[in-house]
Amino acid sequence: MSPSPTSNSTNQSWGGRFNEPTDAFVERFTASVDFDRRLAIHDIQGSVAHATMLARVGVLDEEERDAILSGLEGIRGEIERGEFEWSVRLEDVHMNIEARLTDKIGITGKKLHTGRSRNDQVATDIRLFLRDEIDIVAGELTRLRRGLIDLADREADTIMPGFTHLQTAQPVTFGHHLLAWQEMIARDHERLLDCRKRVNVMPLGAAALAGTTYPIDRHVTAELLGFERPAENSLDAVSDRDFAIEFTAFASILLMHLSRMSEELVLWTSAQFDFIDLPDRFCTGSSIMPQKKNPDVPELVRGKTGRVYGHLIGLLTLMKSQPLAYNKDNQEDKEPLFDTLDTVKGCLRAFADMVPAIEARKERMYEAAQGGFSTATDLADYLVRKGAAFRDAHAIVGQSVAYSIRHRKDLSEMTLEELQQFSALIGRDIFDVLTLEGSVAARNHIGGTAPDQVRAAAQRARDALAGST
Ligand code: ARG
């Protein structure tokens, strides 16, 4: 294919050594401005700090610095008001802003790029941007955790069946189930705050790859930008995208958790379970079946998990086998990161809004816990307390359950005489043990499902949350 001519001359920023203009298609193909303009405000933030530092070390004089700073402020206003004219010809957010600065303040604008490269600039922008976004995500995690803890506290006495293999296993309290969700999200929160530490390191000063010959002071720039420290190695600083991968890994695990919660919400709202009610504002109807109320929000969150996993694999593959230092490949880091952020924020907002509105259908949960012989283990534990070996007790209870199934009644519905056919150890006190209330109350240790334990665990979770935020 012969190069298609462009109407423009070579790119001003780097066209000096070129003999012909860039192919028009290549210009569009290599441009990133359509998506990286999302970094604009953070690009300006980085430039303000860079110019301030350059003046402090004497590379710019104060007049030059002031012209640059007020020019950048003006550009920030143009962007915020939606007046800035983005040009694909200027390739990316960095060169768009720099060109506009020179338009506005003349040749002094061309001094801003002294001692830096787009390679350290873009790495800095993404980190500044992601750091702000992480703080928003952390706020949403806090809101979701608070909602789960409050609901768990309210539902500490509500009995429901607990499941293994999705078969009724033992009774648990709904509050206990909600605190299990809270534990998952608390770990995600911890992972996010840990990831933030590695985001908060400053690449600026690495320049293209080897550092710069100007007498820059990277500690000053780092402090101005609120970074923990300057990145240790210039080659690593411009090529490292671990932090984006880590964030996406955090997001993948979070979405995996939200998808599990979603799955349970979908099951529980079905007519077959009917354990909870989700308010109409979180559901939609069917255009053909008038009776339908569909749990679209949890379904959609469950579905969105897939795209976030995709972004994680995408970013890992993007970085695989890349030689040091910067490569153009890295331009592909932004869209998956942005989409991961948008997806995570949307899913968390939906969940944090929805959780406090979950209404437990207590009678339905209780009724379901009464079926499926959920207190069979309690009967076995009772026999052990009376002196049976656990394996023998297990066999005795197995026979009792088989009898119950044949006679279509729950263990608690059998007469004392019926129960005693299976073991002489069984006495009248067995009926306290076979109730659902007795069963959950007996699991009265840290991490257990007893209502008192759930209330205590909710309080600990509240304290932990207050300590971490
Ligand atoms: N748009 C580029 C990116 O996102 C900015 C850095 C470009 N550096 C370069 N040497 N071409 O990665």
Both 150 and 242 in one domain: the answer is: yes
15 domain residue, yes or no: no
Same domain, 92 and 126: no
Same domain, 171 and 80: no
Tell me which residues of the chain have a pLDDT lower than 70: 1-10, 12, 469
Q: Beta-carbon neighbour count of residue 421 at 10 Å?
A: 12
Q: Are residues 431 and 296 in the same domain?
A: no
- Which helix (H) or strand (E) is 276 found in, with range? strand 276-277
Q: Quote the number of domains for the chain.
A: 3
Catalytic member of 165, 287, 321, 445: 165
CATH number of the structural domain spanning residue 29? 1.10.275.10
Instruction: Answer whether 277's CB lies under 8 Å from 269's CB.
Output: yes
CB of 92 shorter than 6 A to ligand 1: yes
The reply to whether 220 falls in a domain is no
In the prediction, which pLDDT does 451 show?
98
Tell me how many degrees the CA angle 275-280-286 measures, rounded to the nearest 5. 95
Question: Under 8 Å CB-to-CB from 187, ≥6 apart: which residues?
Answer: 253
Q: Which of 235, 237, 204 is nearest to 222 (CA)?
A: 204
Domain membership flag for residue 462: no
pLDDT score for 10 = 64
∠ CA 360-363-368 to the nearest 5 degrees? 95
Single out the residue in 366, 385, 415 at which a domain terminates.
366
Q: Is 10 domain-assigned?
A: no
Same domain, 167 and 83: no
Q: Whose CA is nearest to atom 11 of ligand 1?
A: 328
Active-site pick, 87, 270, 286, 407: 286
Distance 213 CA to ligand 1 centre (A): 21
Residue 16, domain member (yes or no)? no
Verify whether ligand 1 is closer than 6 Å to residue 340 (CB atom).
no
Domain match, 157 and 182 both: yes
User: Ligand 1 in contact with 32 (CB < 6 A)?
Assistant: yes
Which CATH number goes with the domain that contains 387? 1.10.40.30
Domain boundary among 366, 390, 420: 366
Q: 395 and 353, same structural domain?
A: no
Does 165 participate in catalysis according to the annotation?
yes
Asked if 424 and 353 sit in the same domain, the reply is no
Question: Which ligand 1 atom sits closest to the C-alpha of 32?
Answer: 1
105 and 163 fall within a common domain: no
**pLDDT attached to residue 131:** 99
180-205 residue pLDDT tens: 999 999 999 999 999 999 999 999 99
Domain limits for position 392: 370-454
pLDDT score at 2:
46
CA of 449 to the centre of ligand 1 (A): 54
Give pLDDT tens digits for 34-86. 999 999 999 999 999 999 999 999 999 999 999 999 999 999 999 999 999 99
Q: Domain check: are 361 and 294 in the same one?
A: yes
Q: What is the dihedral of CA 464, 275, 173, 142, to 10 degrees?
A: 0
Determine, yes or no, domain membership for 469: no
Domain assignment present for 12: no
How many CB atoms sit inside 10 A of residue 72's CB?
A: 24
Same domain, 103 and 128: no
The answer to whether residue 174 is domain-embedded is: yes
Where among 97, 114, 131 does a domain terminate? 114
Ligand 1 within 6 A of 189 CB?
no
Q: Residues 182, 184, 185, 189: is their CA dihedral positive or negative?
A: positive
- What is the rounded (10 degree) CA torsion for 126, 342, 305, 257? 90
In a shared domain, residues 252 and 158: yes
| Cα 390 from Cα 443, distance rounded (Å) | 18
CATH number at residue 124: 1.20.200.10
